[in-house]
């Protein structure tokens, strides 16, 4: 069975500092991997996705993630945090059924301090 | 504007009452999904539908029901059998061409 683990339910960084949100996955087949962002009381918005092309994926708002098969990881990074990046971030993996179902991690809340 | 519309934004349920959450999309997507979000637990799949007049149970379907009579609409009913319904409910549709889910803005359901 596929699963996703996000390390750290809360991450706090200073404005301008590096953002690193960790995600590890478990999958018996080559996965599709996703990062979504959620602002308070809103739905989720896709940041980026990995679908077996380039292992370094660039997304919106300056975020990027690197797929590392040997480490079963898909960590999200951004070189310089902005106050507007404060939100909850979810890592997700698609299941192997091609139904579009996603299995989500528990989420990481990013706090950005001035 | 194209997108997914969920209503109402806030909903209150009394003991023993069934309530229905609305989800409408004008994106012409075949597949639609209902997720439940609880703090610290991420999103869990309740039901999904890949095509009109067909739907499948997700991981936590007990106490919920759905219908898919029209491509645009995928309403979720929270029945009285769901003993812990307080949560944030999110509806999504899938663009299979680019492998992307589009989410509505959610409905917060609380118990009176």
Q: In which band, very low, low, confident or very high, does the pLDDT at B2 lie, cut at 50, 70 and 90?
A: low
CA B9 to chain centre: 13
Average pLDDT, chain A: 92
pLDDT, average across residues B23-38: 97
Cβ contacts (< 8 Å) between B104 and chain A: which residues? 43
What would the pLDDT profile of B59-112 be if each residue is shown by its tens digit?
A: 999 999 999 999 999 999 999 999 899 999 999 999 999 889 999 999 999 988
Cβ contacts (< 8 Å) between A41 and chain B: which residues? 105-106, 108
Q: Which of residues 60-89 of B touch A (CB under 8 A)?
A: none
Average pLDDT, chain B: 94
Give whole-number Cα distances, B81 to B59, B63, B77, B91, B107, in Å. 16, 5, 11, 21, 19
Cβ contacts (< 8 Å) between B55 and chain A: which residues? none
- In terms of Cα–Cα distance, which of A82, A79, A109, A91 is closest to A26? A91
Place of tokens 């491509």: B71
**A1 or B58: which carries more pLDDT confidence?**
B58
Q: In which band, very low, low, confident or very high, does the pLDDT at A110 lie, cut at 50, 70 and 90?
A: very high
| Nearest-Cα residue of chain B relative to residue A34 | B100
Q: How far apart are CA B23 and CA B100, in angstroms?
A: 18
Assess B103–A contact: CB distance below 8 Å, yes or no: yes
Q: How far apart are CA A25 and CA A63, in angstroms?
A: 19
Strand partners, A68: A73
Cβ contacts (< 8 Å) between B56 and chain A: which residues? 99
What would the pLDDT profile of A36-73 be if each residue is shown by its tens digit?
A: 999 988 889 999 999 877 889 999 999 999 999 899 99
- Give the closest of B41, B92, B105 to A106, CB-based: B41
Q: How far apart are CA B31 and CA A37, in angstroms?
A: 21
Task: Report DSSP state, residue A30.
Answer: P
Q: Is residue B100 classed as helix, strand or coil in its secondary structure?
A: strand
Q: Is residue B112 classed as helix, strand or coil in its secondary structure?
A: coil
- Give the closest of B31, B100, B105 to A42, CB-based: B105
- Give the closest of B56, B99, B105 to A51, CB-based: B99
B78 and B85 Cβ atoms separated by less than 8 Å: yes
Instruction: Output the six-digit token pair for A90.
Output: 């979810």
């Amino acid at each position: 069975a596929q699963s996703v683990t996000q390390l750290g339910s809360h991450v706090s960084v200073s404005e301008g500092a590096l953002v690193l949100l960790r995600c590890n996955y478990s999958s018996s087949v080559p996965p599709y991997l996703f990062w979504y962002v959620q602002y308070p009381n809103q739905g989720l918005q896709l940041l980026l996705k990995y679908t077996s092309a380039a292992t370094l994926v660039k997304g919106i708002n300056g975020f990027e993630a690197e797929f590392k098969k040997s480490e079963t990881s898909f960590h999200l990074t951004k070189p310089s945090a902005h106050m507007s990046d404060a939100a909850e971030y979810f890592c997700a993996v698609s299941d192997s059924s091609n139904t579009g179902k996603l299995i989500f991690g528990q989420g990481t809340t990013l706090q950005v301090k001035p | 504007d194209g997108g997914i519309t969920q209503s109402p934004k806030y909903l209150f349920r009394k003991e023993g009452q069934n309530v229905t959450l609305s989800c409408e999309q004008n994106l012409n997507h075949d597949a639609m999904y209902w997720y439940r979000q609880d703090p610290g637990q991420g999103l869990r799949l309740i039901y999904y539908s890949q095509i009109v007049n067909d739907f499948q149970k997700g991981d936590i379907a007990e106490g919920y029901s759905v219908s898919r009579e029209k491509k645009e609409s995928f309403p979720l009913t929270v029945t009285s059998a769901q003993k812990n319904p307080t949560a944030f409910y999110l509806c999504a549709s899938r663009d299979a061409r680019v492998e992307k889910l589009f989410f509505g803005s959610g409905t917060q359901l609380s118990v009176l």
